[in-house]
Structure 1
Amino acid sequence: MPIYDKLKRTFDLTAAGAGLLVTAPVLAASAATVYVTMGRPLFYRQQRPGLHGEPFELIKFRTMRLSRPGQDDIGSEAQRITPVGHFLRSTSLDELPTLLNVFRGEMSLVGPRPLLMRYLPRYSPEQARRHEVRPGITGWAQVNGRNALSWDEKFALDVWYVDHRSLALDLTILFKTLSKVFAREGINQDGHATMPEFMGNEDQTPKDLQKGA
């Protein structure tokens, strides 16, 4: 889809640049609130798999207290998230810095959400197809249940998007995202800040996406 890809990249670049300018006061206010309530660092940075599984550094506002030495980051997420962090997540304000990732071409506005690098060898070949496109700030899975979905449901929706992507679908997802943000639906599963860790499939064939296989 070369024409679609070029049009989408132009739209992403324009929208991300405009978004960063328009939301600058909100970005500044959010950064100040994070600093006052949690101190430094202001941003959460982590390597995530992008197009074809190539790593990039995701940037978001920090929403959790720093873990203590020896504390399990995944298991303690629900306990470490702060009231301010919960508000930032429920309103998706923590995602605003991710517009930088879109502007730099590491992400798109719409696409499968970038998960964790350690998940790459855990995908089945079908699930791994979610990396055939750039990851997105929002996506088909996000407007159809977000973190309330099971992993199987989420990955099936991601692959469906890969096979049916179009500018019309992207615009539909963006409009639906706005209503989901206002409704604050599907933010997390019970007992988790977002979702439990994806541990893989029993009958999967590991796929080395980091090498673009």
Structure 2
Amino acid sequence: MSFDRNIKIAPSILAADFANFGAECQAIEAQGADWVHVDVMDGHFVPNISFGPATCAAIRPHIKTVMDVHLMISPVDPYIEAFAQAGADFITAHIEATPHTHRTLQAIRGSGAKAGVALNPGTPADAIEHLLDLTDLVCVMTVNPGFGGQKFIDMTSKIRRLRDMIGDRPIHIEIDGGVDPKTAPLVAQAGADVLVAGSAAFRGGSVSNPAPYGENIRQIRAAAEGVWV
């Protein structure tokens, strides 16, 4: 998997039709999605329950691009191998969810997946400064995790700080929460390159009418790339 800082749109299947995940994954990829983002929630670390490794394994054959698995669960370590075996390309754990994030990132890489670390809105960028050499992706939460469709929280100063800290390391900066054509330029200008979009990507479309997915993705990408340098 080659690294680049081009804008990547990663629709979150949390906003998809749960009864039709395989077809939804195929539809968003056909309409221009770069990655497929899978939000895993446990009802403990966050106040919602979504899905687990079995769902990831079921949709993996329908995903030709990147399966980006975001673990909003605690504990994390006992489940890393299961998500890796389910086909996750990236596995992201929250720094707030584990007391030994360094060990968790080592375990993710040891499983064969790329390692991500996520930061809730109240967690400063400096919290992961000493983890960057074990990290392939930093996920900046721009909502408090747990539910889709929330209002964007401005984290541009944190994104800029992370971009400075990362320097020339091959580490993606991913934004998760409230991404749409209005907020995409703000985060892209600050240094983000992976934009997770849930309701903004899936709004107005369906498996039988996927064209709105493509239009949504194009609008978010165009807005982000308009300021990207």
Tell me if TM exceeds 0.5: no
Structure showing greater Rg: 1
Structure number with the bigger relative contact order (C-alpha 8 A, sep ≥ 6) is: 1
Task: Say which structure is richer in strand.
Answer: 2
Structure number having the greater helix percentage? 1
Q: TM-score, normalised by structure 1?
A: 0.29
